[in-house]
Chain A
């Protein structure tokens, strides 16, 4: 049966728990494209034979191969598109800079797409809210106060606050910091938001 490899690609992505990006299956994709090429060439020769040799009994076979080609195409496009959706989610959840482990999971084209997406988002954000722009990746939950209490979960180092003072983020130290500075770090798991 044709299209087994393509279905396997889709299954692999479906199996990854919600939103996680598995490694780019370069090999699998290459095999699917090879299968498509073989099917296409067989169909080409059969179509010529059917037209010139009058063999209309080949038509069901041609249709069969054509269905397989369409199916392969659908599977690969869906695979690539779903990966892009997951990479897009990374920008919103992780921030602009991705950890190396994740970068190895992406192909070169996906990395380029990520960079372009970042740029588009940044341009858009700059165009909002007057001269300085508006960071819409902040304040994902409605804020209740300007300053928040945070506890450090791991050693991060020096952290500079707006008025120039810097804070040393050591494990288990608690600080009272402006919300907009810490939000990114909290989402990345460096700090922990403490409710009073």
Chain B
């Protein structure tokens, strides 16, 4: 890790995200289910969505269209399903896409937050499965066995920001988040403080992003302490940044 690079920390666990934090931007890109309460005319080209999950495949070109996951009781938008080799064949004048009341979509958090208001005029938010009653009992039973990386790499941050949507279950959600963390924290602390100079991929595999950050901090503390114990604390070292650049130059030359 570079000693002089101080990135903007995530604020998602507090009341508001940090505007400049890259972690928060990626966290708020995750989707949640919403219900449209009103129509949105003229957004005809809206559903140019990627195939598969939202987090894969940045290399997929923009013009990839897919059947939207809609249960709309009205105009059916017959989209053309394409592969990445073909060109997009959209009609030159996209029809007005009427999002009728009651249709359910998945929108990213930033969009849901922007369009949400107290009177729920444009949309109303539903809780994702993992924050609902069923999963909450799973977490309360044993929080340690759950693979938080798989069910949503930003479990705590996303959950904390969900509280903005004034769901009646807010108190339970926040309690559940807290208790889950309390249940898992001991193991994280233990493993980060005792895994010295070994491959830690098995230990971090089931942690979400926030927990991984915690693990890394613990590892750094451990490494610094060991370095001090060995008497290397006063040894001037090559800056890690320089080392990484040198390694990269080497691989560039090999290409």
Contact = CB atoms under 8 A, between A and B. Distances in A.
Interface string A1-14: 10011011011011
A74 to B, nearest CB: 6
B239 A63 contact: no
Interface string B34-68: 00001111110011110000000010001000000
Contacts of B23: 14
Contact of B43 (A4, A11, A64): A64
B138 interface: no
B6 A67 contact: no
User: Which of A19, A67, A186, A189: most chain B CB closer than 10 A?
Assistant: A19
Contacts of A1: 46-49, 108
Q: Which label, helix, strand, loop or mixed, suits the secondary structure of the B interface?
A: loop
B239 A94 contact: yes
A159 interface: no
Contacts of A67: 110-111, 114-115
A20 interface: yes
A74 B233 CA distance: 40
A193 B249 CA distance: 24
B235 interface: yes
Contact of B4 (A20, A58, A88): A88
- Chain B's interface size range is 35 or more
Interface string A93-118: 11000010110000000000000000
Contact of A94 (B26, B236, B242): B242
Nearest to A46: B42
B80 interface: no
Contacts of B22: 10, 13-14, 78, 82
Given A7-B25, A10-B25, A189-B246, A81 B236 contact: no
A146 interface: no
Interface string A59-100: 011011011101100110110011001101110111000010
A142 interface: yes
Given A8-B58, A71-B110, A93-B2, A61 B26 contact: no
Contacts of B39: 57, 60
A89 B4 contact: yes
Contact of A63 (B7, B110, B122): B122
B231 interface: yes
Given A1-B46, A67-B115, A89-B241, A143 B234 contact: yes
Contacts of B41: 57-58, 61
A60 B235 contact: no
Contacts of A8: 58
- Chain A's interface size range is 35 or more
A27 to B, nearest CB: 13
B29 A7 contact: yes
Contacts of B252: 101
A188 interface: yes
A78 B20 contact: yes
Contacts of B58: 8, 11
B229 to A, nearest CB: 14
A5 B58 CA distance: 9
Contacts of A66: 114
B7 A85 contact: yes
B235 A10 contact: no
A148 B237 CA distance: 13
B234 A64 contact: no
Closest 6 CB pairs of A and B: A19-B2, A67-B114, A19-B5, A89-B4, A92-B4, A89-B5
Interface of B: 1-8, 19-23, 25-26, 29, 38-43, 46-49, 58, 62, 108, 110-111, 114-115, 121-122, 231-246, 248-249, 252
Interface of A: 1, 4-5, 7-8, 10-11, 13-14, 17-20, 42, 46, 57-58, 60-61, 63-64, 66-68, 70-71, 74-75, 77-78, 81-82, 85-86, 88-90, 92-94, 99, 101-102, 140-144, 148, 182-183, 186-189, 192-193, 195
